A and B are shown apart, each in its own frame.
Chain A
């Protein structure tokens, strides 16, 4: 048995082992195509794609932090309130006190981190269940938001701050544009094509490295199929955006954060330790991992990301209101669970959470275009969440 390291698995085995990830990707594509058809092609219109990104960016950004929290074996119900709280703080600083956004943005991120620390302390060091701590936090920070905003919305924001959320990356490659009549922002398309090419290149290089070190690769067919789907979808979306205003600023922020957190969860020691802690906290502790500190910092991280989301939302709505972000925690948590995270900790992927967030986003958007009311939207979203988790449980029991 010992010498069997290098044998490759059969295609069937591989598919079975990774059914969750492929299933998720396929589900997203199916949902997209479905809504593209039933909305009569509205879904993939450049304006709508841009809207979709703007509407979902903050959910995706918070899902990155929430995934770490869920993998660590906790939960954070307070993110919606932190969004409102930090949005309110930024409004007071920007609008009432007239401070420049280059100071306000970092200050708010730090304040978000402090809010996360305040909750992380109780969870990590006082061992109070995160559900209770963040339920308290949800009420406390919502209350504080009403207090600091004195129950009134504050706005509008200075133009430069607004453009953080609603602006676009200018077409820095306009001189190369081959078809100025169709394409209005060539840089968007070019960047997507370059990224797809890089992904292919590094994917192949990684396979070669693996072969050299005798590590298993996914079957080549799968690699090509997966990359192919991603490439087609990415280039299509890039083209659509390039015929409108190009990349929204938040898309760039979001993409960089997704890349960063994917790296943290798959390659860094911190990420590995969070998974180990979520998988078996006692064993992780006995292996020399400072589980308290690690838990504490996952909450600090969540606070920072929630603060960023809070500013993006405030800038997008051009006003900070005490009711901002109500119910967001549920969308964020649902995104993680649809994306395959386990409620008992130790399991979950960034890509899963991101795709989960987009599944929710596309459904929201598609159903809105169809004119379905909020009643049906909630009903359908709830059923999709249940179905996704049931799919996980079913697979686990079968395997």
Chain B
């Protein structure tokens, strides 16, 4: 059992402007289940992409040794060829093809391009038995649940003679029964000598199955814990995940908090696609004038969905609950009504949902409030240019003019254009969804400064962020969400990375 199957040595991977992995080393023994944990953006997925050849050799520094040999993968099929199979969080199955077709996709059992269906079905049957899935091979993927789809992915991995199986958040979208079944399967595979790496946020599950736990933080390896030597508590893992010094990355602010601006009560929402599944449960929260309120939570906790469902029902269906602004109940059933009520939503996906990228700064700035620069449906050009120029200067949007197309701006400047657009609607409450995602440190500081200014002007800010230090550095109060519920409300004094993580983990165990 002392056989090291995989060793990654001093891996460094740089993206333009960001060091995603910094000198990461990682060792996996044959036949163990090795868990990889860390916050969002700690570098877990990047490390696995380096391993599987998504980022080919040469685009990173460091060495990968597998089976005692130095390996350089230039494509995913290189790594798959020697038995390293990765199953991504978003399943890579074709919904309208059958289980059998999906398992052998790109790897068909065929002679001269003619598929041998008999053999295909027989082999599929065999593989499905191994993963304990009781479905007929011709069943379409779309007709089986997410849990079973996950098993099909694993069967597909088995068909490729897997030796090292990597699962990225395999249980994120599974219910408890399906999760348990999956974990049992992994333990079964361990008995047969297969090695797995599992990336997960669910620490209770990791405790159940893992032999070793490697913690990543900010692109570096923190430590590797051996679960057989000592009893590792969840608090111990959390400490490793978040234990870092807070630097002075946030502009100071004196909060002057006034009356309640936004109040959301008993907000219940069903899933947009899976229409009989309730996604948000009894959400209650409020934002006061001059206050910056954060919503913390892991990916998929329902933060963006909460914001979008409130903002003109732009997500979900069967939405019930009350929204009031300054104590008065308001109608937010359509986006124009939500804007009129005084809400603004700055999306997390500025490229797809925030900007008309082929259009310029000028037109993007006034898009949500064209009435203010027009009369009787005719736009006053000079008025419009003045507005756009003012915001360009006020928010310091770096561009050669207001006529520059937004597609050519940097992420931070694009975000400022989106902010301009919403500031021009003169909202009472701004909902900022991941306002600093994908932008560099300097621009982040500028965004924080803008947030502070808005709060000083008496606006209410609701900020959704996956970066906990950012929430702790900017917010006066933080709600913690998990699995579609608000599970804690922490004052500035109570809030810390540990307390947030604990709230998430504890609530996760209850279900």
Which residues from chain A sit less than 8 Å from chain B, CB to CB? 1-2, 4-5, 209, 213, 215-216, 267-270, 272-273, 275-276, 279-280, 282-290, 346-347
**Which of A209, A269, A282, A289 has the most C-beta atoms of chain B within 10 angstroms of its own C-beta?**
A269
Q: Once the chains bind, are B393 and A2 in contact (CB under 8 Å)?
A: yes
A1: which B residues are within 8 A, CB to CB?
A: 398-400
Chain B residues near A346 (CB, 8 Å)? 356, 358-359
Question: Do the beta carbons of A280 and B401 come within 8 Å of each other?
Answer: no
* Further 9 A-B residue pairs, CB within 8 A, beyond A1-B400, A290-B336, A346-B359: A216-B403, A267-B378, A269-B370, A269-B371, A276-B356, A276-B359, A280-B358, A286-B311, A346-B358
| Chain B residues whose C-beta falls within 8 Å of the C-beta of A267 in the assembled complex | 378-379, 381
The interface residues of chain A lying within 8 Å CB-to-CB of B371 are 269
30 contacts between A and B (CB under 8 A): A2-B392, A2-B396, A2-B398, A4-B401, A5-B389, A213-B385, A213-B386, A215-B382, A215-B385, A216-B401, A267-B381, A272-B370, A275-B356, A276-B359, A279-B357, A279-B358, A279-B359, A283-B354, A283-B356, A286-B314, A286-B345, A286-B347, A286-B353, A287-B368, A288-B312, A288-B336, A288-B339, A288-B425, A346-B358, A346-B359
- A209, A216, A284, A347: the one contacting B367 at CB < 8 Å is A284
Residue of A nearest to B422 (CB): A287
Query: With A2-B392, A280-B357 known to touch, is A285 a contact of B401 (CB < 8 Å)?
Result: no
- Which residue in chain A gives the minimum CB-CB distance to B308? A286
Query: How many angstroms from the CA of A276 to the CA of B339 in the assembled complex?
Result: 18
Task: Give Cα distance in the complex from A288 to B332, angstroms.
Answer: 12
* Total A-B residue contacts, Cβ distance less than 8 Å: 93
Q: Can you name the residue of chain A whose Cβ is closest to the Cβ of B311?
A: A286
Residues of chain B at interface, number, CB under 8 A = 44
For A287, list chain B residues within 8 Å (CB).
335, 367-368, 421
Contact of A276 with B367 in the complex, beta carbons under 8 Å:
yes
**Is A269 a contact partner of B377 (Cβ separation < 8 A)?**
yes
When A279-B359, A282-B352 are in contact, do A273 and B398 touch as well, CB less than 8 Å?
no
Closest beta carbon of chain A to B173's beta carbon, Å? 23
| Contact assessment for B358 and A347 in the assembled complex, using a CB-CB cutoff below 8 Å | yes
Chain A residues with Cβ below 8 Å from B368 are 287-288
Interface residues of B in 342-377 (CB under 8 A from A): 345, 347, 352-359, 363, 367-368, 370-371, 374, 377
Chain A residue, CB-CB nearest to B338: A288
CB A259 to nearest CB in B, in angstroms, measures: 14
- Does B152 reach chain A (CB closer than 8 Å)? no
Q: Quick check: is B504 within 8 A (CB to CB) of the other chain?
A: no
Chain B residue at minimal CB-CB distance from A281: B356
User: Is the CB of B451 closer than 8 A to any CB of chain A?
Assistant: no
A358 CA to B17 CA, complexed, in Å = 51
Question: A289 vs B339: C-alpha distance in the bound complex, in angstroms?
Answer: 11
Question: Could you mark each residue 259-280 of chain B with 1 if its beta carbon is under 8 Å from any beta carbon of chain A, else 0?
Answer: 0000000000000000000000
B413 smallest CB distance to A (angstroms): 10
Q: Tell me which residues across on chain A come within 8 A of B355, comparing CB atoms.
A: 280, 283
CB distance from A288 to the nearest CB of B (A): 5
A285 contacts B370, C-beta separation under 8 Å? no
